[in-house]
């Protein structure tokens, strides 16, 4: 039983009633944007949910735990061997679980799931989790969360994730050759900046990719890899090796911001890194948002999330050219509107697979969902190998 049956039935009934709200609004797409994306219908979405039967021996607690019983919060993806491999975030119920209240977050661990169609996934055991190692002080009590995954040009894999210790969320790096065995590398910023950014609240990284041999692979621009990250705006960092990252800073030493929040817009509360890739029209950066409800406004929740896209100069990735005026994906279904965190459709991963874009997002910080773009126009925008 991978899904809690009573929850599934409840979600099905409530979501069916809101079906009309999930239609594509193509008017929000500018000509450089990738899409349009269509959420898969009820019965397909959500594709992953809490699993009450899955157990994992926790090396810290020295006992079996139901490691993904409270929520499945996000999944980062790559294509390998003509399949989609997903590093996904499971949350246990160590601090309680109630379908009708948010409760306290449990411990986060990162599992592995594999799919041949992008929708039906076979889950495996956790591959990254808190344990008695050099990074325990940064992960104890909270865990490993918010994965962002890329393939490196040499065939290895780089995972940016957050170490969460119930005090500070810190961006961390892990590397792997096979997506199963991971080596934790620590802070991406320590080599160039010492402790300056190690203690900073940092999360949600997006490394620029390009299409190579049918897969999205980390791309060098002007001899460097580029990464956007943050949630108060998107900051910029560069790297020679995908492991060690140097922040771009202003003259006063503060981080340079590529994408700031905008007062009165759909992205006026939070801007969080989602994904980035080169296209024929520039670098397209997907980002997650929250916004405030404006005075006198009705209909929208006080804090509603949505997905935006930004266009960046392909020759100078620190220059913003354009951005969305409205969210192209936002909460529609009941499980997105009411969840562990309400009104959430945060993007967690993107792949180009079998001629289509698969965009993975969470629903209410409890379920994992997929939206697909089947547009030939958006496929042809990708910069890199020709589309077959």
Average pLDDT taken over every residue of the chain = 88
Does some domain include residue 385? no
For residue 386, being part of any structural domain is answered with no
Nearest alpha-carbon partner for 57 in 137, 138, 129: 129
pLDDT mean over 89-102: 71
The predicted model gives 48-77 an average pLDDT of 95
Q: Find, among 305, 214, 317, the residue nearest to 256 by Cα.
A: 317
Least confident residue range of 95-109, 140-154, 180-194, 235-249 = 95-109
Residues with Cβ within 8 Å of 344's Cβ and at least 6 positions away in sequence, in order, are: 305, 331, 336, 362, 363, 364, 365
Query: In the predicted model, is pLDDT for residue 145 greater than 50?
Result: yes
Q: What is the pLDDT of residue 249?
A: 97
Does residue 308 contact residue 269 with C-beta atoms inside 8 Å? no
For the chain, what percent of residues have pLDDT higher than 70?
A: 86
Domain presence at residue 20: yes
Structural domains counted in the chain: 1
Among residues 331, 267, 274, the alpha carbon closest in space to that of 301 is found at: 331
Is residue 303 domain-resident? yes
The domain of 294 spans 5-380
Per-residue pLDDT at 23: 61
Q: Which residues pair with 159 in a beta bridge?
A: 149, 174
Whether 290 maps to a domain, the answer reads yes
Q: For residue 194, is pLDDT > 50?
A: yes
Domain-located, residue 388? no
Q: What is the CATH number of the domain that holds 269?
A: 2.115.10.20
Q: Which two tokens stand for residue 152?
A: 């490196």
The residue whose two tokens read 């601090």 is: 95
Asked, for residue 249, whether it belongs to a domain, the answer is yes
Lowest-confidence range among 114-118, 180-184, 212-216? 212-216
In a domain, 67, yes or no: yes
152 contacts 173 by C-beta, under 8 angstroms: no
Reported as type and span, the H/E element at residue 25 is none
**Is residue 4's pLDDT more than 50?**
no
């Amino acid at each position: 039983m991978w899904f809690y049956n009573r929850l599934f039935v409840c979600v099905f009934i409530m979501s069916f009633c809101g079906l009309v709200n999930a239609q594509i609004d193509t008017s929000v797409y500018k000509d450089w944007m990738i899409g349009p994306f269509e959420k898969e219908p009820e019965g397909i979405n959500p594709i992953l949910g809490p699993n009450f039967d899955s157990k994992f021996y926790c090396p810290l607690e020295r006992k079996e735990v139901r490691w993904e019983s409270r929520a499945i919060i996000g999944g980062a993806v790559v294509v390998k061997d003509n399949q989609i491999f997903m590093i996904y975030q499971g949350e246990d119920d160590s601090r309680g679980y109630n379908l009708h209240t948010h409760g306290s977050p449990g411990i986060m661990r990162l599992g592995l799931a594999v799919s041949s169609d992008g929708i039906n996934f076979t889950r495996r055991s956790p591959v990254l989790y808190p344990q008695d190692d050099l990074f325990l002080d940064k992960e104890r009590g909270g865990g490993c969360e918010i994965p962002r995954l890329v393939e490196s040009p040499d065939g290895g894999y780089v995972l940016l994730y957050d170490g969460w210790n119930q005090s500070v969320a810190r961006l961390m790096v892990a590397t792997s050759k096979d997506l199963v065995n991971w080596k934790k590398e620590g802070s991406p910023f320590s080599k160039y900046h010492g402790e300056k950014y190690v203690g900073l609240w940092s999360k949600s990284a997006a490394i620029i990719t390009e299409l190579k041999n049918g897969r999205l692979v980390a791309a060098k621009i002007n001899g460097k890899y580029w990464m956007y990250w943050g949630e108060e705006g998107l900051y910029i960092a560069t790297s020679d090796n995908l492991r060690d990252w140097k922040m771009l800073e202003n003259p006063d030493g503060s981080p340079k911001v590529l994408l700031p929040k905008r007062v009165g817009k759909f992205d006026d509360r939070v801007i969080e890194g989602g994904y980035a890739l080169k296209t024929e029209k520039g670098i397209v950066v997907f980002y997650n948002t929250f916004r405030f409800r404006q005075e006198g406004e009705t209909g929208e929740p006080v804090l509603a999330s949505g997905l935006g896209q930004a266009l960046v100069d392909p020759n100078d990735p620190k220059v913003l050219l354009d951005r969305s005026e409205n969210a192209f994906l936002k909460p529609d279904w009941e499980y997105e509107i009411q969840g562990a965190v309400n009104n959430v459709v945060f993007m967690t991963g993107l792949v180009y697979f079998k001629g289509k874009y698969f965009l993975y997002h969470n629903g209410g910080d409890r379920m994992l969902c997929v939206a697909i773009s089947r547009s030939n126009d958006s496929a042809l925008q990708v910069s890199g190998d020709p589309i077959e």
